[in-house]
Copies of this chain bind each other. A is one copy, B any other.
Amino acid sequence: MDRTTVCPLAQAYRLLNPGCVLLVSVGDAEADNLFALTWNMPVRRDPPMVAILSGKGHYSYPFMQRTGEFALNVPDAGLVDAVLGCGSTTGRDGLDKFARFGLSRAKATRIAAPLVAEAVASLECCVAQVVDLGSSALLVAQIVHAVAAADHFRDGQWRFDRGLRLLHHLGGERFCVSDRAIDARPP
């Protein structure tokens, strides 16, 4: 998949607007991990910012605390088994989720964490603020670099004419798929 297209930062929030489930990658020079993330949203357009929720007891949480970085990877629906797999296993016991679920590491531009090469977009993020919510934390982060598949994201919009199927989490093992756009009639 052509993922060489850099997404202008002013358009990066559009990659997250439809509320998809994401694969989050974290890591440093020594180790990395992946987890599935349903609870995410943009919070600013310029500079582009995002908020994600993470359990503090999560294996990936100390990576984000230590490095201040993570990447958000947008999966096509073809990756649904990998998404559930990454969301229902832990990297704590040395499991390499990339290898286990058939995913490949791609080098990021601005952060140390690897990107998911099979994703239709990847956003590199630097944590700006941590909001304590008890057993979990809301991480507010700036998007510092983004790439997207040129086939599926053009002129700042997701496009469905070449087979894109965005994936949303319903609950448990069940997801829903959006694969067509509609235009509202302006008031």
Could you list which residues of chain A lie within 8 angstroms of chain B, going by C-beta atoms?
14, 17-20, 38-44, 49, 51, 53, 77, 80-81, 83-85, 88-89, 100-101, 129, 131, 133-134, 136, 138, 140, 156-158, 160, 166, 168-187
Contacts and interface: CB of A to CB of B under 8 A. Distances in A.
A118 to B, nearest CB: 15
Nearest to A180: B177
Contacts of A169: 17-19
Given A14-B170, A19-B19, A41-B53, A182 B186 contact: no
B14 A171 contact: yes
Number of copies: 2
A112 B121 CA distance: 42
A1 to B, nearest CB: 20
A106 to B, nearest CB: 22
Contacts of A134: 44
Query: What 6 pairs across the A-B complex have the smallest Cβ distances?
Result: A19-B19, A84-B184, A18-B168, A85-B187, A178-B178, A176-B178
A173 B168 contact: no
A43 B53 contact: yes
Contacts of A187: 81, 84-85, 88-89, 100-101
Contacts of A84: 184-187
Contacts of A170: 14, 17-18, 157-158, 181
B138 A51 contact: yes
A83 B184 CA distance: 8
